[in-house]
Amino acid sequence: MNHDTPVSPRPLSHLTDAQRRVLSAAQLRAHGVTAAKTAAQCRAGGPWQQILPGVFVLHPGPPTSEERLHAALLYAGRPTAAGLVPAQARTEGEVTSYGDVMVTGLAALALYRFSSAPPLLSLDRIDVLVPRTRRLRSTGCARLVRAHAMPTTHQVSGVPVAPVARALADAVAQLSDADAVRRLLTEAVRGSHCEPAAVVRELTLARLLSRPHVVDAVDSLLAEGRAIAEDRLYAMVREHGLPDPLWNVDLRLPGGPHLGGVDIYWPEQAVAVELDTRAPRQDEDAMGSPLLERSRELGEWSEYARKREHLERLGITVVHITPKKLRESMEQQATVVRTALMASADREPSAYVVVLPR
pLDDT digits (tens, 9 = 90+) for 321-350: 988 889 889 999 999 999 999 998 888 888
In tens, the pLDDT along 7-36 reads 344 455 444 366 678 999 988 988 889 999
Confidence at residue 292, expressed as pLDDT on a 0 to 100 scale: 42
pLDDT (mean) for 62-90: 72
Give the residue among 133, 120, 287 at the shortest CA–CA distance from 218. 287
Residue 291 has pLDDT above 50, yes or no: no
The pLDDT assigned to 295 comes to 46
Q: What dihedral angle (degrees, nearest 10) is formed by the CA atoms of 264, 266, 269, 274? A: 10
Q: Residue 341 has what pLDDT?
A: 95
pTM: 0.72
Q: How far apart are CA 37 and CA 39, in angstroms?
A: 5
Q: What is the reported pLDDT for 286?
A: 37
> What is the pLDDT averaged over residues 164-189?
95
Query: What is the pLDDT averaged over residues 68-85?
Result: 74
**Contact 318/274 with Cβ under 8 angstroms?**
yes
Q: What strands, in cross-sheet order, belong to the sheet with 49-52?
A: 22-24, 55-57, 49-52
Q: Provide φ and ψ at 320, rounded to 5°.
A: -95, 130
Name the average pLDDT for the chain: 83
| pLDDT, tens digit (0-9, with 9 covering 90-100), for 105-133 | 999 999 999 999 999 999 999 999 999 99
Of the pLDDT bands very low, low, confident and very high (cuts 50, 70, 90), residue 179 is very high
pLDDT of residue 347: 84
Q: What is the pLDDT of residue 327?
A: 87
